[in-house]
């Protein structure tokens, strides 16, 4: 998500300066690769790159291909075989043992539904979306490119010949995973990267103390949207939290009510005000929030459960599974920055359904053989 927003900002800057651009998108991977289908990079005519399509090994040649697409004003599909050890640029230095297909799209500012416009629409609302990119591995075939954005209540596209894919769009939204599907268009076989665009991550911090500042900075670095709420007007200020999307001086009830809680919303309770944190916890137990992190020792959490029980509130097993206290991964964190790192890492692990073990001990590949993309 952050890559898309960075690309949109870079495009806006380039457009304001009158610079032409091209968008490079990883559309298919065979074998291993540093980036997966859906990874993007914007290239301006003066060589400024935003985003990434590899670990850095392909960007140099990709820049040349993007500039060619800008010069010729047409889309191009380029295949990089990183498993070829005879290739000094991509084989020996990379060692990924994969084939990466990258689509380069010239951005025509006059086109109503150009790729940048469609990316803008995919993140315009806090709703899951699908982005459709059409490409062909056949030589001398016109590369169609990014043509459609789909949400349950909206289809944005100028093409009228893609209704057969609507069932696949719904499948992608339901499974929350991208697929590649073959489709016959204009007498040629094309492949459709039907890409799932998740909701942006929303991190809500109950607490505006000094130890919240590095957490906000780290979350912002990942592109997460951060809401900071605290009852102290002296602490909840834009000067102290310039990276936060929203800052509130508020009571617990208003903090929860002002948070759009969905499957990508994560709460961290760190006000250092026991009663404030307890009230927020009580309110969150009645929501579907999947992560309620509580800063402090286990004794504090047990006290909270005792106080809730005294009020007649029994924390169920399902609710307990959503509570993370003490918060964070066990990495030996002590300083505020280290604690922020452990918290961000734990939230990411919960988000992805991972156990947060060291990759050193992982027996299988980091990414599945299909690179997380189902071919149908």
pLDDT band at 345 (very low <50, low <70, confident <90, very high): very high
Domains of the chain: residue spans and CATH: 1-86+98-197 (no CATH), 202-352 (3.40.50.720)
d(C-alpha 178, C-alpha 116), whole Å: 20
pLDDT at 140: 82
- By the 8 A CB rule, do 255 and 230 touch? no
Indicate whether 333 pLDDT > 60: yes
Per the CB < 8 A criterion, the answer to whether 249 and 233 are in contact is: yes
Confidence of residue 371 (pLDDT cuts 50, 70, 90): very low
Residue 84 has pLDDT above 70, yes or no: no
pLDDT for 104: 97
pLDDT tens digit string along 130-182? 999 999 998 888 899 999 999 988 999 999 889 889 999 999 999 999 999 99
Largest CA distance in the chain: 74
Which stretch of 26-30, 208-212, 327-331 has the lowest confidence by average pLDDT? 26-30
In this model, does residue 91 exceed pLDDT 60?
Answer: no
Share of the chain above pLDDT 70, in %: 93
At 170 the pLDDT is 94
Give the neighbor-by-neighbor strand order of the sheet with 21-31. 49-51, 40-44, 21-31, 98-106, 76-81
Query: pLDDT band at residue 68, thresholds of 50, 70 and 90?
Result: very high
pLDDT at 360: 82
Specify the pLDDT at position 370: 47
Which pTM was predicted?
0.85
Residue 171 exposure: Cα atoms within 13 Å on the Cβ side: 13
Q: Among candidates 272, 335, 268, 277, which has minimal Cα distance to 308?
A: 277
Q: Which two three-digit tokens encode residue 74?
A: 């047409």
For strands 202-206 and 225-230, give the pairing: parallel
Structure tokens that stand for 52 in this block:
């990434």
Residues 82 and 94: beta-carbon distance below 8 Å: yes
Mean pLDDT of the chain: 91
Would you place residue 192 in the very low, low, confident or very high pLDDT band (cuts 50, 70, 90)?
very high
pLDDT at res. 2? 87
- Per-residue pLDDT tens for 245-258? 999 999 999 999 99
What DSSP state is assigned to residue 119? H
Helix or strand or coil: residue 211? Answer: coil
Please report the pLDDT score of residue 212 as a whole number. Answer: 98
Q: pLDDT band at 269, cuts 50/70/90?
A: very high
pLDDT for 64 = 93
d(CA 291, CA 269): 11
């Amino acid at each position: 998500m952050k890559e898309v927003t960075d690309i949109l900002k870079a495009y806006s800057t380039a457009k304001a300066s009158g610079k032409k651009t091209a968008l490079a998108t990883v559309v298919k991977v065979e074998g291993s690769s540093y980036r997966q289908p859906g990874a993007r990079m914007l290239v301006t005519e003066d060589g400024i790159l935003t985003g990434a399509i590899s670990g850095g090994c392909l960007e140099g040649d990709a820049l040349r291909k993007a500039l060619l697409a800008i010069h010729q004003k047409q889309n191009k599909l380029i295949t990089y075989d990183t498993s070829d050890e005879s290739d000094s640029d991509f084989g020996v230095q990379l060692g990924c043992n994969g084939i990466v297909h990258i689509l380069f799209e010239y951005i025509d500012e006059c086109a109503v539904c150009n790729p940048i416009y469609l990316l803008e629409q995919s993140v315009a609302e806090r709703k899951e979306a699908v982005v459709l990119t059409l490409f062909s591995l056949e030589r001398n075939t016109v590369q169609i490119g990014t043509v459609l954005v789909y949400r349950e209540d909206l289809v944005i596209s100028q093409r009228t010949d893609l209704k057969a894919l609507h069932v696949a769009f719904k499948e992608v939204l339901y499974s929350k995973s991208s697929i590649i599907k073959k489709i016959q268009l204009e007498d040629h076989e094309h492949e459709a990267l039907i890409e799932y665009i998740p909701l942006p991550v929303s991190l809500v911090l109950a607490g505006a103390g000094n130890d919240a500042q590095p957490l906000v900075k780290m979350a912002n670095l990942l592109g997460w949207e951060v809401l900071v709420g605290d009852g102290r007007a002296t602490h909840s200020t834009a000067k102290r939290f310039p990276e936060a999307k929203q800052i509130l001086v508020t009571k617990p009830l208003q903090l929860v009510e002002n948070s759009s809680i969905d499957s990508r919303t994560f709460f961290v309770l760190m006000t250092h005000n026991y009663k404030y944190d307890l009230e927020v916890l009580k309110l969150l137990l009645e929501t579907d929030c999947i992560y309620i992190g509580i800063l402090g020792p286990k004794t504090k959490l047990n006290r909270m459960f005792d106080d809730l029980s005294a009020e007649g509130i029994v924390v169920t097993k399902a609710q307990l599974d959503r509570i993370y206290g003490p918060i964070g991964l066990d990495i030996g964190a002590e300083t505020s920055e280290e604690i922020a790192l452990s918290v961000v890492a734990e939230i990411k692990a919960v988000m992805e359904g991972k156990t947060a073990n060291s990759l050193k001990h992982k027996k299988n590949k980091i990414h599945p053989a299909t690179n997380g993309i189902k071919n149908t």
